Structure 1
Amino acid sequence: MVFPLVLLKLLDWILYQFLATPCYLAATKIRNYGFLRNPSLKSSQQAPPYPSVTKCSLECRASQTLVCDIHGTLLRSDQSFFPYFMLVAFESGSIVRAFLLLLSCPLLLVLDHELKLRVMIFITFSGLRKKDVKSVGRAVLPKFFLENLNLQVYEVLASTGRRVIFTTFPRVMVEWFLKEYLGVSDVVGTELHSVGNYYTGFLSESGLPMKHKALKDFFGDNKPDIGLGSSSPHDQLFISLCKEAYVVNKEDRKNNASSVMPRERYPKPLVFHDGRLAFLPTPSATLYMFLWLPLGLTLAIFRLSVGIFLPYKISLILACWSGIRIRVKGCIPSKSDKGKGVLYVCTHRTLLDPVFLSTVLKKPLTAVTYSLSKVSEFIAPMKTVRLTRDRQQDGETMQKQLSEGDLVVCPEGTTCREPYLLRFSSLFAELADEIVPVAMNVHVNMFYGTTASGLKCLDPIFFLMNPIPVYHVHFLGKVPRELTCAGGRSSFEVANHIQRQLASALGFECTTLTRKDKYMMLAGNEGIVHQSKK
């Protein structure tokens, strides 16, 4: 059934290219020579039927109802749904599924809106588990939606009391973001067919929702107070059913800087998110990624081998030659003269924080960890010691390691990608008088080197596959004795002081969130790796 429709669409596109386009150009030339000119008609056609969303007053809207779509209205970009389907295909499916979706791009160019969505839904969702898709909708997609949110439209939406979204997006992809971040009360979207716990890749019996019909069915004889839409004919019909209607112009979305949502205006702070892709996977960007993968994997193996087998000075030179940028700031502290090692307290951005710190210091360090995969532990170019989460036992372990040499600890207990610091565990403050805070930060442009729900053993590989990853290492100097436990401060005071000091150096914000908060949100567990008993 689908193949004949695709064939007809392809034929229609060919006829358009060879017949319609030349005829249009000829008509344009005739008009330019003075024929078929009607100035009054031209001016009437250019007059927009509805005012711009910038004309919408925000006052006295608390009791009113607003309806709109997420695509073309709430989101600034007028790109297709493709990047968001690619995120689901890559993060919830596999790299093979993502590649098949990329291969479908030439076909998608000649299909209309409905067939295009059906093809992308089939490739993306067929055989996927419901819980995996739900996880991506909760942990991956919100970051990209927030970065693309239209500030002007959001301000109108936030001023109303009830918000209802009508969209052809699969509801499972957008519902969590809309309700959790934007306070939307109801979402009417495309429903997907499933068998048991798996999606089939087909639509439910209701098919793709027609927004104007769905609005009538939802509200009945009542009219929503405000309707927002694009300038497309479908949206014009949709918002015509509202008491007030406003249009989000394409020019405003692209060129108006006031429509860009700054991070500080996010409706809810984006502290945690998951997924491997650090970029919006448009067709061209995804193609570049697949072209880079063979070289990137080779480069990652080279960088990993250099760090494991070569001396610090040589590995540092070769790492920089391969594209890794290491920015060092502050004075490297001198060796302790009290017979004990120095305790380095670091912010936690990736699993490689202790490795880069050891490389910069050009000396071996011992790193303590809570949960580390066997593979990561095996390939680590430094000594790693597991903690048990038993405070007394962990304290004794760390004291023993400090008596043997320098120790590095990340009191957050887990990584955080965004400019926030999680709550610091105070255990480290009880163990050492010589504490050196080290503010560490990373910048990547293709892959994230952390994950909450994926394979942690691949974290170093993904980070090292980035073309030009940047690591910032900022030594803040030893903490004065009077600000340590030896100077009469409690361990909690010391931990909070160092957290604020590191946050100030990085321009980050302190939080009271913990490892448990992160993993409960992103993965639905407490983030503890249980070791098998032998």
Structure 2
Amino acid sequence: MAEFPPIEKCGTTISRESESVASDLDGTLLRGRSSFPYFFLTTFETSGILRSWLLLLVSPLVWLLYHFISEAAGIKLLIFASLAGVPVSQIECIARSVLPRFYLQDLNPETWKVFSSFGKKIVVTANPRILVESLCKEFLGADEVIGTELEVDNRGRATGFVKSPGVLVGENKAKALLQACDPEQLPDVGLGDRQTDFPFMKLCKEGYVVPPSNNVEPVPKSQLLKPIIFHDGRLVQLPTPLVALVTLLWIPVGFVLACLRIAAGSLLPMSIVYHAFWLLGVRVTVKGTPPPRATKNSRGVLFICSHRTLLDPIFLSCALGRGVSAVTYSVSRLSEILSPIKTVALSRNRYKDAAQIRELLKEGDLVICPEGTTCREPFLLRFSALFAELADDIVPVAMDNRMSMFHGTAARAWKGMDPFYFFMNPSPSYEVTFLQQLPEELTCKGGKSSHEVANHIQRALAGVLDFECTNLTRKDKYKALVGTDGSVETKKST
């Protein structure tokens, strides 16, 4: 490693906007040197539990090959075990919607300070280009990504093998960089973390080595180029080999536990569901003062909730101790069958939906999530203003939850499994915070427009949750996560 100075010697006090940099990814731009967690994430999302077990079982052999035979051999086995037979379109979708959040949680602050100070940025990596290109270009500002290229058959599926010249390690990295750049305009600075990076670093005018940095805190979210607002996938934690093993072992236990929890919520009277959930390890915290039940001679209260999972209305009812009807834009047949409360699907026709909501309010209290879709990150999407014209008694409710193993939402997966995945967490929690009912002067009846009412409630909920308001919509979410304009759901989402 003495061949190149440490990265601390690379000065960034002067402007380097006119210069270029080429950097390795694992162990250089990222603190971690292992790419196993990202292959496991891709396998779990594209191929399911059995293929994930296979990848985990071959991981010791991958480690032996990587450290004692050759890096290229270990990476080839990792690629074959995780990607053989997987449609390239699915790999691209996971690379865009799942992996960036985990990668950015592992960004090396010292390397990022250097890398981001240059004008032209190139990432040279042994990873399959398809897995990291979205991350590098969209979130790291890379102009070009040079990575291992996968072989693809005529059906658009990865064969599990790689194209010539093979895995980009050692001399292959240097050759790939030479092919991608004008020989007279090679990068000014090369960054790497191991000897197999030295060949491409020698092509640069300067080279710097990144020492092991697992104990260094990652780059804070505030220093990233852009925030991650939309994120998909089922797994909460980065699946290191140990976390992956624990997760896979827990799944059958968690599924049985989820069935018990769902049965308790569906079959028991809502007045005792709160206590049943606590006995079964589901923590429900209620803050604020909920309004009294609507009387027969009055219209119901309209509860306006932030939207975290499909279970929001269930936990609202749990907090109230009584069932509250809910309206939603989409609900799976399984969720409809299991739901302990009345659930009504809206048609997305403004006039038809308005008439339906008015009728439901005549029957009693009603809950609606005006974001129209869930968002996991600390952001609130744009609120639909339709509800503001339909009710005089409006109570905002801030919903938030905590999950340690599985996310209870997924854009690409079957929504009917969302409640199961939420309840499969060892000890999931929900926090329900009731805000004060809107005074008349802040409603449409008091002279405010429906958009003013919606924006006021969005800001109030964001303040309680410490979230950020956005103007993004359901269509923006589906365009970002599944590559559509949001007008058509994926096949598994209904």
When the two structures are superposed, what TM-score results if normalisation uses the length of structure 2? 0.94
Q: Mark the CA change 1:530 to 1:444 in structure 2 (over 3 Å): closer, same or farther.
A: closer
Does the aligned pair in 1 maintain the 2:4–2:207 contact within 8 Å? no
Q: Match for 1:61 among 6, 11, 16?
A: 16
Partner of 1:200: 159
Partner of 1:328: 286
Q: CA deviation at 1:147?
A: 0.8
Does the aligned pair in 1 maintain the 2:422–2:428 contact within 8 Å? yes
Provide the aligned length of Structure 1 versus Structure 2. 480
Partner of 1:158: 116
- The one-letter code matched in structure 1 to 2:188 is D
Q: CA deviation at 1:398?
A: 0.2
Partner of 1:39: none
Partner of 1:517: 476
Distance 2:285 2:384 in 1: 27
Q: Match for 1:411 among 370, 374, 378?
A: 370
Distance 1:179 1:233 in 2: 26
- Residue 418 of structure 2 aligns to a residue whose secondary structure is helix
Partner of 2:197: 235
* Greater mean deviation of Cα atoms: 375-384 or 498-507: 375-384
Partner of 2:393: 434
Partner of 2:77: 119
Q: CA deviation at 1:217?
A: 3.1
Distance 2:224 2:301 in 1: 40
- The one-letter code matched in structure 1 to 2:41 is L
Partner of 1:135: 93
Distance 2:44 2:450 in 1: 44
- Residue 155 of structure 1 aligns to a residue whose secondary structure is helix
Distance 1:124 1:487 in 2: 59
Q: Match for 2:237 among 275, 279, 282?
A: 279
- The one-letter code matched in structure 2 to 1:229 is G
- Residue 275 of structure 1 aligns to a residue whose secondary structure is coil
Distance 2:184 2:236 in 1: 46
Q: CA deviation at 1:216?
A: 2.9
Distance 1:300 1:530 in 2: 25
Q: CA deviation at 1:77?
A: 1.7
Distance 1:510 1:218 in 2: 42
* Greater mean deviation of Cα atoms: 208-217 or 57-66: 208-217
Q: Match for 2:186 among 219, 223, 236?
A: 223
1:91 aligns with 2:68: no
Which residues in structure 2 correspond to 1:151-190 (within 5 Å)?
A: 151-190=109-148
Distance 1:314 1:273 in 2: 34
Q: CA deviation at 1:365?
A: 0.7
* Structure 2, gaps ≥5 residues long: none
Q: CA deviation at 1:445?
A: 0.8
Which residues in structure 2 correspond to 1:346-495 (within 5 Å)?
A: 346-495=305-454
Q: CA deviation at 1:48?
A: 7.0
- The one-letter code matched in structure 2 to 1:62 is E
When the two structures are superposed, what TM-score results if normalisation uses the length of structure 1? 0.87
Distance 2:60 2:307 in 1: 42
Q: Match for 1:254 among 208, 214, 237?
A: 214
Does the aligned pair in 2 maintain the 1:452–1:527 contact within 8 Å? no
Does the aligned pair in 2 maintain the 1:366–1:384 contact within 8 Å? yes
* Greater mean deviation of Cα atoms: 398-407 or 109-118: 109-118
Q: Match for 2:32 among 77, 81, 92?
A: 77
- The one-letter code matched in structure 2 to 1:188 is I
Q: CA deviation at 1:529?
A: 5.3
Q: Mark the CA change 1:216 to 1:529 in structure 2 (over 3 Å): closer, same or farther.
A: closer
Q: CA deviation at 1:55?
A: 4.2
Deviations 1:138-193 (A, max 9, x none): 00001111111122222222221111111100000001111111221111110111
Distance 1:59 1:51 in 2: 18
1:106 aligns with 2:56: no
* Greater mean deviation of Cα atoms: 221-230 or 175-184: 221-230
- Residue 474 of structure 1 aligns to a residue whose secondary structure is strand
- Residue 344 of structure 1 aligns to a residue whose secondary structure is strand
Does the aligned pair in 2 maintain the 1:165–1:186 contact within 8 Å? yes
- The one-letter code matched in structure 2 to 1:107 is L
- Residue 316 of structure 2 aligns to a residue whose secondary structure is helix
* Greater mean deviation of Cα atoms: 464-473 or 154-163: 154-163
- The one-letter code matched in structure 1 to 2:40 is M
Distance 1:186 1:300 in 2: 45
Does the aligned pair in 1 maintain the 2:302–2:365 contact within 8 Å? yes
Distance 1:48 1:188 in 2: 24
Distance 1:513 1:54 in 2: 42
* Structure 1, gaps ≥5 residues long: 1-45
Between structure 1 and structure 2, the one with the greater Rg is 1
Q: Between the two proteins, what is the percent identity of the paired residues?
A: 47
1:500 aligns with 2:455: no
Q: Match for 1:296 among 254, 276, 290?
A: 254
Distance 2:186 2:270 in 1: 70
Q: CA deviation at 1:470?
A: 1.2
CA RMSD of aligned residues (A): 1.7
Q: CA deviation at 1:475?
A: 0.6
Q: CA deviation at 1:206?
A: 2.0
Deviations 1:299-321 (A, max 9, x none): 00000000010112432222111
Does the aligned pair in 2 maintain the 1:229–1:246 contact within 8 Å? yes
Does the aligned pair in 2 maintain the 1:148–1:261 contact within 8 Å? yes
Does the aligned pair in 2 maintain the 1:277–1:448 contact within 8 Å? yes
